[in-house]
Structure 1
Amino acid sequence: MRLVFTRFMIGLCAVLVVMQSALADSPIHQLITAMSSSDLPRYTKLPLFAPHRKDFICAYQDQHLPSVDPQANLWFQQALALELDPNTYWKDKDWRKIYQLYQQAAERNHWKAMLNLASLILGQYPVPEKQPEMAIRWVEKAMQLGVPDAWDTMGVYHMKGIVKGGDATSAYAFFQKAADMGSPSAQAFLGAALNAGWDNPSSGFWANMPVATKMLECSLAQGYGDAADELEFIYAADKTPEAKLRAVKVLQDGVKLGSAKCASLLSSQFDGLDMTNGDSLVGNIDKARADRYGKISDVLEWYQGTLKLPNLDKVLPLPPAPLPKWDGDVETLIDAAKAVTSPVKSPASAPHPDPRSALIKSGLLRSLSDGPHPLRCDGGRKCPQSGIWAAQVAVTHPLAALYNRWDRQAFVEKGASFPDPRQQHLDISVHDVRWTWLGSPNRIRVADVYEIAL
């Protein structure tokens, strides 16, 4: 994601001269060295950015990614767990080990590891490799594998001058290519650039709201939470009660998908933003909700989009639903909202450790103490039991690769409707979704008063 990439590039000089001889023995060098400079993916000739294009056809990145072998994915998850470990100060983390694990995964064609390696190389962290040319080559390798996000990253490199001769013109051509291929980060970036009422190229925005909306909705459908921050402006434009409610709901979706921006905006809204001028989205001040969104925003800012909170409605449902009682511990708030999994029990004879273990260690996933009795439900029915539910479509469904994620969950109250994929801009019928109950409902105290329970 763009936020993950750019956080490692703060303070980087715009142009750096690299000696080719320093890279001669590297594996990635040997993958590309046979090409002439004009044939390198970084110099791909692309159509110029067309801000006034007439249409945009949504493409999903997950449907076009190369397969990842289990061992490479395990190394990647182990590196991610070390990198995101919230209990270790960043300077004390084993960056050499993190780099090594990412490199091992990248050398077995793990595309996310390639992009993370590139970010580490360009960042301010003490990793073994600091040559910008190496970062460019890892991104080029991912581009050769057809990874849309890699084309987006190359656009960032052109924009920042990390690629020799790169500038805004070549950068936007790469962003456009990436968005058309299915990169959610490129779609969100260009969607924001086109979300304007007039053209101002020198400031990086143009008037093309119809295409902006399609790009942002496509990005959000792929799980890119920050797209919701821009969609809120579009949805609320009419300032009707219905428009404002739609804007609030999309911001809530953005928080579930890890957007600190959306959480911060909702915190401000419930704290009284725009109450005096009539532009408030929520229409009332609710300090308790503002406080919870504010604390969640701080945590999501640290995770930079990697932490998802699909069960946010368990701790922070939108009005008029009452807030469950909270013990004031931020960890309780986050743990109850994040994705959960049944107990992880990897047998000693297993060829590879369960990758969920790394997700749990990194704080992205919470393991339940006990697995609930099996309970499944068609997505078109009312929810038969309060708690956390996991969703899946059949593996033969055209959008299975996109929809069947480990964090595709929701906290649903008994008698309520399950989330409709079409409301999430996905062409999936509610009846195609099978929901599995994972348990973890809130605890009732007295009468209709509930408290957050893990």
Structure 2
Amino acid sequence: MNKLTFIALLIPLLASCGSVSLSQSDRDYTQTHPAPKAFDSKRTEYTCATWTPPSPPDAESHLWYRAATLLDAKDWRMNKQEFQDMIVLYEAAASRGHYQAINNLYLLYTHVQGSTGIMYNPLHNRSRKWLHYGLDKNWAMANYWLFDALYEGNAGYRRNPQLGLAYLQKAVDLGVPLAQYELSLIYDKQFNNKKVRELLLSCAAKQGFSTAMNRLGVIYSIRGNLKESLQLMHNAVRHGGEGGGEAALKLTMVYAKDKELMYQFAATPSNPVREAAYAELEKALMGTGTKSGNPFYTFPRLDEVLPLPPAKTHWKGIYSAMSKEDAAFYQNPPDTAALAADILKRGIVKKEEVYWSPRPPEPPEDHGL
């Protein structure tokens, strides 16, 4: 799973979660808490439960989080210093209980990461720390993290796929859209149950999970439900993320003269303005061969400036589709290096506690004489 699949959802303010200690990594949650209801592969009924993640505890921690995402979006194009600054910024926000920062840290520390020419090994003690923090706070999403840990053997947990599926099912029942999407894939690939797959995709799509919208849009287009397919793909773009970027690419083909892979829309009139707008959105989210995109972008004003036909377009570039706050932030981004340096100077996090040592270079292969 790609870490940038996870996009921020801004919601009503909750209380600050307080400080966090490394001692939270020194235990096995499954040994101290009762297991959830066992996963039932024959279950076919799921209600579309919804979940609202905790909101940022304060403005400063949210600024740190957003600054970290500017670096995170660069992915492997970050240099070593930018990579370390990203960790400092995320850790500072997480130290105040910032949910989105903690979510991204769990993903970063769990899966192998890289910056320009450098690779970093997973840090199980740190991913485990944030996993347990979320579980202790009863965050629904933390059940998904525990599924990931058990199903794949991440965060220092012994691999236990069946117990992992039980936590995934619990996360679904608590309304986590990523869990709904993940379980839809399992019903599709492992149990060949298309009905439940589509039910769970619909649940995730209703909560604005762009990857589910994009996938469901493809299914509908194959069936000939073109109006519903267009709406789903358009909404996926509005919510951003990799799913939004993939949907934007499909929509460029829908409105092009050559429909390419979107041949189902052969009767849809080409529209150069819409084609160019969706192409711009796709590049903004996914990047190009030489420039990173930013899957953290969202476009809540998309229906105002690029509504679906027959409405007229008022497109003035990607910033016209963002909220005014986001447009101002991304057009005048903060100095991430200065913010990270200030965090270290103030002792909010200590460099030695958050520094991530690069993986030693691989020795050259000895091919003999």
Give me the TM-score of the superposition, normalised by structure 2: 0.68
Distance (whole Å) between structure 1 residues aligned to residue 55 and residue 68 of structure 2: 24
Does structure 1 retain, via aligned residues, the 8 Å contact 2:252–2:274?
A: yes
Number of aligned residue pairs: 306
- Aligned residue in 2 for 1:439: none
CA deviation string 1:241-286 (max 9, x = no partner): xx21111111111110111121112122223336896x22763333
Q: Measure the CA separation in 2 of the matches of 1:67 and 1:338.
A: 20
Letter matched to residue 124 of structure 1: G
Is 1:190 the counterpart of 2:153? The answer is no
- The aligned residue for residue 338 of structure 2 is none
**Structure with larger RCO (C-alpha < 8 A, sep 6+):** 2
Aligned letter for 2:60?
L
What is residue 55 of structure 1 aligned with on the other side?
Answer: 45
Which residue in 1 is equivalent to 2:95? 107
Distance 1:253 1:176 in 2: 26
Q: Which amino acid aligns with 1:120?
A: L
Secondary structure at 2:192's aligned position in 1?
A: strand
Q: Matches of residues 284-433 of structure 1 in structure 2 within 5 Å?
A: 284-302=269-287, 305-324=295-314, 333-341=317-325, 361-362=332-333
Distance 2:125 2:82 in 1: 23
> What does the per-residue CA deviation read over 1:129-177, in whole Å, with 9 as the maximum and x for residues that have no partner?
9622221221121122122222223323334332443254444333222
Structure with the bigger percentage of strand = 1
Paired residue for 1:143, among 132, 135, 138? 135
User: Which amino acid is 2:64 matched to?
Assistant: Q
Q: Which residue of 2 aligns with 1:401?
A: none
Asked if the contact 2:25/2:125 (under 8 Å) is kept, the reply is no
Contact 1:118 1:135 in 2 (8 A): yes
1:30/1:136 Cα in 2 relative to 1: closer, same or farther (>3 Å)?
closer
Task: Note closer, same or farther for the CA distance 1:59–1:304 as it changes in structure 2 (3 Å cut).
Answer: farther
User: Which residue in the other structure is 2:3 paired with?
Assistant: 4
Q: Could you list the per-position Cα deviations for residues 58-82 of structure 1 after superposition, in whole angstroms to 9, with x for gaps in the alignment?
A: 22221xx456532xx5224323224
The 1:227–1:87 alpha-carbon spacing in structure 2 relative to 1, beyond 3 Å, is: closer
For residues 5 and 28 of structure 1, what CA distance do their matches in structure 2 show?
26
Q: Structure 1 residue 260 and structure 2 residue 245: aligned?
A: yes
Task: Please give the alpha-carbon distance, in whole angstroms, between the structure 2 residues aligned to 1:104 and 1:323.
Answer: 42
Partners of 1:107 and 1:248 in 2: how far apart? 41
% identity of equivalent residues: 21
Spell out, residue by residue over 1:377-425, the C-alpha distance to the aligned partner (whole angstroms, 9 max, x if none): xxxxxxxxxxxxxxxxxxxxxxxxxxxxxxxxxxxxxxxxxxxxxxxxx
**Matching residue within 69, 79, 88 for 1:83:** 69
Specify the structure having the higher radius of gyration (Cα): 1
Shift in CA distance, 6/40, structure 1 to aligned 2, threshold 3 Å: farther
Report if aligned partners of 1:314, 1:337 keep a CA contact under 8 Å in 2: yes
Unaligned segments of structure 2, at least 5 residues: 7-18, 288-292, 335-369
Richer in helix (by share): 2
Kept in 1: contact 2:320–2:327 (CA 8 A): no
Determine if contact 2:274/2:306 at 8 Å carries over to the other structure.
yes
Indicate if the aligned counterparts of 2:305 and 2:320 stay in contact, CA closer than 8 A: yes
Say whether residues 1:160 and 2:144 are aligned partners: no
Q: Deviations over 1:174-231 (max 9, x none)?
A: 322212112111112223444x5xxx52xxx53142x434432332232211111122
What is the alpha-carbon distance in structure 2 between the residues aligned to residue 57 and residue 296 of structure 1? 33
Whole-angstrom distance in 2 between the partners of 1:255 and 1:6 = 13
What is the CA RMSD across the aligned residues, in angstroms? Answer: 3.8
Partner of 2:229: 247
Alpha-carbon shift at residue 289 of structure 1 (Å): 2.6
Q: TM-score, with normalisation over the residues of structure 1?
A: 0.57
CA contact (8 A) 1:315 1:336 kept: yes
